[in-house]
Amino acid sequence: MSLQQKSIMINGKNIINERPQIVVPIISSQEEAILKECEQIVSKKPDLIEWRADFFTDLADVEKVKHIIGELKLIAQEIPIIFTIRSVREGGQEISLDEDGVVRLLISVSRDAKVDFVDFELSNKASNLQKLKEVTDQSGTQLIVSYHNFQQTPPKEFITKTFADMQKAGANLAKLAAMPQSFSDVVTLLQCTEEANQQLDVPIISMSMGDIGVVSRVVGWQFGSVFTFAIGSQSSAPGQVPIEDLRQLIAKAKIS
């Protein structure tokens, strides 16, 4: 399916339009710093904000988490928010919740805090993915199903199957981040992105991490990756570049 035929509706607007959406992460660990980081980021006008809540020290306190989301929404105004708890096995921080606890929290922030997007890894239990999907469908939250590999770029067949499995699992968006060892790995990731974008109904998000992969954050859009992650205040993954630079590079790299 071409990008023109895909849509992700937020506040009545299709956010898949003529350019990639730039997402900026918040990675502070305490409430005050999180809100301050959000203010700094908002001044740089990203398209979306990701709260990487695995960095938050009080993650087990559901009410506190929901309260912070409310505060973030006030600061971010119309900028949509992605709520992400990245697992340690996929490059995230140590947290006090187990997988079932994470699902309960994601359900709660989707249902009660009405966050715009939640991110959940494909490697979680299929029953948990299904449980979360039922709730996000009801609450209108967009479900990003994701996979991260900080060591290497898996073979083409693996990447292709992973994107397809994400769609099967009920993803509204399918996201894959991998670490390249060479520029060929970056090309592999971009080719798989292009093919998955054509073959699947869901929008694709992909990135090659690290210095070698920087180019994928600029031109990934031309291959069908609808979001690209940039630094607003602090980086959440290797290879991210400051939002100001990324914006300029994307404008220069635009074909049409």
Ligand X SMILES: O=C1C[C@@](O)(C(=O)O)C[C@@H](O)[C@@H]1O
50 is in an annotated binding site: yes
What's the min distance (Å) between Cβ of 92 and ligand X? 8
| CB nearer ligand X, residue 2 or residue 249 | 249
Residue 102's contacts (CB-CB under 8 Å, 6 or more residues apart) are 85, 87, 95
Nearer to ligand X, 204 or 207 (CB): 207
Closest CB 256 distance from ligand X, rounded Å = 25
List, by residue number, the catalytic residues.
148, 175
Of the two residues 63 and 219, which places its CB atom closer to ligand X in the complex? 219
Does the annotation flag 221 for ligand binding?
A: no
240 is in an annotated binding site: yes
Shortest distance, CB of residue 239 to ligand X, whole angstroms? Answer: 6
Least distance to ligand X from the beta carbon of 235, Å? 8
Task: Report the interface residues with ligand X, using CB under 6 A.
Answer: 25, 50, 52, 84, 86, 119, 146, 148, 175, 177, 207, 209, 229, 236-237, 240
217 is in an annotated binding site: yes
**Which residues carry a binding-site annotation?**
50-52, 86, 217, 236, 240
**Which residues carry a binding-site annotation for 3-dehydroquinate?**
50-52, 86, 217, 236, 240
